[in-house]
A = this chain, B = another copy of it.
């Protein structure tokens, strides 16, 4: 696998609107961050998810797991590391680590399935599969 397609780190600042009455980044918002991580990872490998979607290639989230170790707060600057752990013709597994400085706040993983506009499973496009497996 090339480095570009398999890992990237993104800095995100927690918005006020994302923070809940405890003063914590609401747990549902982490999944927006993970999605931003996947978009950037794909971009660094030369793909825009926007173009894939326009071409009828969609990635739907099939499974998520997340372990929250310590809270993030409004205005925190966080570093999200997104990795591709495994890619088959049918699915992509990502892992995520969210940190504030040296402190790990959260670890997560997701499984995406590739579908067409009608929601039917389709194979991951060759150019993405091959790039991820270092064949191009």
Contacts and interface: CB of A to CB of B under 8 A. Distances in A.
A58 B99 CA distance: 23
B21 A16 contact: yes
Main secondary structure of the interface of A (DSSP, over half): mixed
A75 interface: yes
B21 A23 contact: yes
A35 interface: yes
Interface of A: 13, 15-24, 26-29, 31-32, 35-36, 39, 48-50, 53, 58, 60-68, 71, 73-75, 119
Given A50-B73, A63-B65, 8 more contacts: A13-B36, A15-B35, A16-B26, A17-B20, A22-B53, A22-B60, A31-B31, A39-B75
